[in-house]
Amino acid sequence: MSNTGIFTISLAALAIMGCKASPNGDDTADAPNDHTNLSDELSTTNPMGGCVIESPTGTVPDDLYQNTGVVENDDYPPFTKTLTVNGITLLGNDDNADAFMEDVGTAIDEMFSQTASGIDPTLQALVMRAMYERRTVIPFFKSDGDSEPEFTNAEWMQFEQIEENNSLCDVIFEFGGNGQTMEVMEHILHHVNMVGLHYALIDSWGIVEGSDVHTYMGEAIANGYYNANYDDEIDDPAEAARVWLQEYTYWVITTGWDIQETYGGDGGGGEWTLQNLDDFQASQPEMAQLFDDTIPKVMVAPSDATLSGFGG
């Protein structure tokens, strides 16, 4: 895990990763393209760890693929602007550059391409619908991750309200330069897996004991491919178990896309040793096959232009 990820875990002490209540919300709308009953195909089993709201109370728009662009509003105080794209709402403040938020939105747009080879439109829509239903949000902070956001006590209380009413499983730090690319990709993928993949593909990608990724994570740990110490860093065992899985799936997906070796640096200081696609396929062939059988049906890696545009 990167330094920014370590900082995110430290927010648990401030109740940023606390358990979620089931909020009141708007009735959902029908999804497009005869996907009206997609919600019936989603799992009702919630992921471990408490960062995802318990009930699917979010509004599903007619256009699942909407990209609102940056909108100044007070919908999520203390944040001052939002950008909603493909089921994820990005939350920014005045010191977050509009261009940075738009670039992150472009990355999410490209991930959920409708025209990429192998995409299953129904499965892709299922993943996105789950993220809308569970009110998936990613806050932005202008920081290098080594210091806490400069919020007042009142603003922290507002932040806790966002947690209570939305699925918030990590944050994105805007700092520019080395490490920014994977800072963005890591925390997008945490939410895609914690919410979208979990509810749409729970047997294979579910953040629960007994899912395929949970089994293959155990093999990776036993063989020294995945080396983490979240049990030592996080007091809540359920939250620690969630972080173990969400981090593992981030390593797997970015390595399966073969972008980890280019943009990922040192594998989180040795947390992940299979940064090379060939090594991953040779060392975890069943996990690599699961990736090949599922992820290309849902999403693809953003373009090199978009990834490199974050600054490395």
Is the predicted pLDDT of residue 25 greater than 70, yes or no?
Answer: no
The band of 146, judged by pLDDT with boundaries at 50, 70 and 90, is: low
Is the predicted pLDDT of residue 31 greater than 70, yes or no?
Answer: no
DSSP state string for 134-152? TTEEEEEEES-SSS-----
Spatial contact of 19 and 52, defined as CB atoms under 8 Å apart: no
pLDDT, position 29: 37
pLDDT in tens, 83-120: 999 999 999 999 999 999 999 999 999 999 999 999 99
The band of 33, judged by pLDDT with boundaries at 50, 70 and 90, is: very low
Percentage of the chain surpassing pLDDT 90?
Answer: 75
DSSP state string for 224-268? TSB---HHHH-S-HHHHHHHHHHHHHHHHHHHHTT-HHHH-TTHH
Q: Could you list the residue range(s) of the whole structural domain that residue 113 is in?
A: 3-309
Mean pLDDT confidence for 243-264? 95
Cis peptide bond prior to 78, omega within 30° of 0:
yes
Number of domains in the chain: 1
